[in-house]
């Protein structure tokens, strides 16, 4: 693939902008099949194999990704929207190339796989792979998501059992049950869900006469939050990470 096409596909601007970056000496390339060191490239039309390709733009290294899969540790007081109403958008926490990746001829960038409330923290997946988003969001795949819930009132066995048996929410006559539920401490509930509804955790906890004071998503499928990923930070998902999700029924190309 031509170098300017590579940069364009990775979100570094229009083809003209990408060609300009290359011609101005702002791009270096490292390909495992070509060299063990970054090499300056000033020819926009030069061809490179994309597999294993690593390049640097203005000193920042980027791996070539046919599709971007990233994990964001969502901080409090942020919205999972491109057009937030009250709080800053989670997309402002991502570098420009992730927000500018083209899809079907238009700039769309990575999109959140589901949403977390503005006051909910923790694991949020983002990708530009529409099929992956659809599979992850489909209720028939039952991808488990684990939440760490701080509650206002002390937990008891009755509340835990009701959450396991199922509670009725306003918009659904069928009881909604937790896949797993345990009281870690008197005020710390660990809740596993395999479906997603509006404010589901808060409404389920309210249905057993308690109240959510803080909510954090710690795991999706078999993938846990990296302990060294601070709130507001993001990281690439590796093939192993995707396989951990895949173990729970979500296929990744």
Q: Which residues are the active-site residues? A: 117
Burial class (CB in 10 A: 0-12, 13-18, 19+), 149: buried
Task: Look at residues 64, 63, 68, 98 and name the one whose alpha carbon lies nearest to residue 82.
Answer: 98
Beta carbons of 236 and 70 less than 8 angstroms apart:
yes
| DSSP-derived 3-state class of residue 54 | strand
Cα separation, 27 vs 39, in Å, equals 9
Long-range contacts of 3-6 (CB under 8 A, 24+ apart): 3/27, 3/29, 3/41, 3/43, 3/44, 3/45, 3/46, 3/47, 3/48, 3/55, 4/44, 4/45, 6/48, 6/50, 6/53, 6/55, 6/64
């Amino acid at each position: 693939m031509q170098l300017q096409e590579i940069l364009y596909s990775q979100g570094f601007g229009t083809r003209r902008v990408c060609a300009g970056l290359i011609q101005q000496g702002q791009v270096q390339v490292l390909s495992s099949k070509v060299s063990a060191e970054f090499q300056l490239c000033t020819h926009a039309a030069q061809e490179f194999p994309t597999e294993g390709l690593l390049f640097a733009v203005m000193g920042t290294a980027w791996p070539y990704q046919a599709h971007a899969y990233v994990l964001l540790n969502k901080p409090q007081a942020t919205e999972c929207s491109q057009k937030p109403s009250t709080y800053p958008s989670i997309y402002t926490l991502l570098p420009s190339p992730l927000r500018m990746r083209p899809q079907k001829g238009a700039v769309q960038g990575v999109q959140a796989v589901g949403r977390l409330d503005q006051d909910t923290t923790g694991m949020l997946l983002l990708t530009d792979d529409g099929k992956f988003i659809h599979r992850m969001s489909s209720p028939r795949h039952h991808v488990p998501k684990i939440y760490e819930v701080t509650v206002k009132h002390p937990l008891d066995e009755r509340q835990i059992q009701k959450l396991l048996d199922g509670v009725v929410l306003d918009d659904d006559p069928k009881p909604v049950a937790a896949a797993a539920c345990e009281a870690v401490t008197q005020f710390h509930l660990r809740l596993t869900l395999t479906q997603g509804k509006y404010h589901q955790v808060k409404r389920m906890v309210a249905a057993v006469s308690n109240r959510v004071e803080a909510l954090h998503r710690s795991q999706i499928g078999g993938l846990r939050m990296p302990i060294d990923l601070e709130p507001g930070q993001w990281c690439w998902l590796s093939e192993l990470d995707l396989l951990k999700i895949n173990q729970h029924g979500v296929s990744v190309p």
